[in-house]
Amino acid sequence: MKAIILAAWKWTRLRPLTDTTPKPLVKVLWKEIIIYTLELLKPYVEEFIIVIQYKKELFQETLWDSFGWIKITYHTQWEEPWTWWAIKWIDTKGSWDYIITVGDQIFFKNDIKPILLGHSYWVLSTRVTNPENYWIFQISTNNYLKSIIEKPTQDVGNLANISFYKVPSEIFEVINHVPLSPRWEIEITDAITLLTNTYQFKVHEWQFIDIWYTWNLLDANKSFLWDLSESTIEWTVEDNVIIKGNIILEAGAVIKSGTYIEWNCYFGKNSIVWPNAYVRWNTSLWDWGKIGFSVEVKNSYIWENSKLSHLSYLWDSIVGNNVNLGCGFKTANLRHDGKNMRVMVKWNLIDTGRRKLGWIIWDDVKTGINTSIYPGRIIETWSSTLPGEIVK
């Protein structure tokens, strides 16, 4: 069996994170999103075929030509506007079965072996509350696929496609006969529908994390830290540090005296938490990061080599790489009217479904001292603020 992982999109909904990093290479805790999929499939496949285009060199720098003992072949998608087109041009020899999935979702491991090695062909699904936004599977009484309805306007069920399939090699022939959809795409769902004339596809429900927008990273981070059952401390926790929960402290990391840590948190290699900081639940501080003296951080995601200067507040926020937040900065995270936070994405205000959200700030940003930020704001890559500036 071989696995095709589609990772060529630019993922503009995840801006500004994807200005510098393809979404499959965005990290959740200490691993890139795509690595969770590689680890899930590694025991069952003989080759990974990764379809790349946007910042393709970063995939090869991160993954090289193998994952463990499993060969990686890269297929560059050049002119086609949508990733599914690229399947047509993959060099496939022999009668292999294929796993086809995307590189920008995290599928929980659980025990997938019975599914991978059980029934010949299948699709994974999950139940959703807004089926009008998904491709919905209609199934028979014994959970075999009957049809796939795109973004239905009527009640046809809520069993949604999550883009994880096991298919026969005939998929590459069938896809040549699939007509263009209204969005000028060759849809793999149409190819699978054609295959149901010859093969039976079992529909299995599965858990996954869909990082559709930037704030979903906070949900992903929480889902991993929430289940942290014990601490892993590889370096230095000074005297008079209080830890109410479990933490991961990587090699070279230091938590200095007087710090209070509440609930589960992650501290990457060579990071440092200066004295008297208050670090609250589900915070992740990556390699070489710094939380300064008397800084309060809650439920935030802080990437590599970023520094939170002293006497500051960061709540429910995402901070990119190589960011320097000047002392005294403050983030608001709640609207006065109590309504959900809305964030501008591709010139549209999107309801995040969250009552609390601070700011989303990406790589190489520098803020002046005493900068204050309205809730739900995006600070663009490579930008800066003046001392005392209020970002509305």
241 close to 258: Cβ distance less than 8 angstroms: yes
Mind listing the pLDDT tens digit for each residue in 318-327?
999 999 999 9
Instruction: Identify the domain boundary among 212, 235, 270.
Output: 212
Instruction: Classify burial at 57, counting beta carbons within 10 Å of its beta carbon; exposed 0-12, middle 13-18, buried 19 or more.
Output: exposed
DSSP states of 303-343 as a string? -TT-EE-SS-EEES-EE-TT-EE-TT-EE--B-TT-PPPEE
The mean per-residue pLDDT over the stretch 92-104 comes to 81
Is the domain of 176 the same as that of 266? no
CA–CA separation, 188 vs 373, rounded Å? 43
Is the domain of 306 the same as that of 368? yes
Question: Residue 84 — φ and ψ, nearest 5°?
Answer: -60, -25
pLDDT the model gives residue 186: 74
DSSP β-ladder status, 70-76 and 47-52: parallel
Our answer to whether residue 310 is catalytic in this structure is: yes
pLDDT the model gives residue 263: 92
Band of the pLDDT at 129, cuts 50, 70, 90?
confident
pLDDT the model gives residue 172: 81
Return the SS3 of 19: helix
CATH number at residue 286: 2.160.10.10
Is the domain of 86 the same as that of 163? yes
Question: Does residue 81 register a pLDDT over 80?
Answer: no
- Widest Cα–Cα separation across the chain: 68
CA–CA separation, 343 vs 59, rounded Å? 29
The mean per-residue pLDDT over the stretch 270-276 comes to 97
Instruction: Identify the domain boundary among 160, 185, 212.
Output: 212
Helix, strand, coil share of the chain (percent; to 5):
20, 35, 50
Amino acid 274 reads: W
Q: CB atoms < 10 A from the CB of 130, how many?
A: 9
Is the domain of 164 the same as that of 205? yes
CATH number at residue 197: 3.90.550.10
Q: Look up the domain containing 381 and give its range.
A: 219-391
The domain tally of the chain equals 2
Helix ranges (DSSP H) in 119-239: 171-174, 188-195, 216-225
The mean per-residue pLDDT over the stretch 350-374 comes to 91
pLDDT the model gives residue 213: 86
Is the domain of 193 the same as that of 76? yes
Amino acid 49 reads: I
Mind listing the pLDDT tens digit for each residue in 180-230?
777 667 778 888 888 888 888 999 888 888 888 888 889 888 888 888 889
Question: Does residue 10 register a pLDDT over 90?
Answer: no
378 close to 318: Cβ distance less than 8 angstroms: no
Instruction: Identify the domain boundary among 212, 236, 255.
Output: 212
Mind listing the pLDDT tens digit for each residue in 240-255?
999 999 999 999 999 9
Band of the pLDDT at 85, cuts 50, 70, 90?
low
Is the domain of 208 the same as that of 266? no
The mean per-residue pLDDT over the stretch 302-326 comes to 94
Is the domain of 351 the same as that of 311? yes
Share above pLDDT 70 across residues of the chain, in percent, rounded to a whole number: 95
DSSP β-ladder status, 97-102 and 2-7: parallel
Is the domain of 172 the same as that of 239? no
CA–CA separation, 104 vs 131, rounded Å? 20
Active-site choice (75, 119, 177, 310): 310
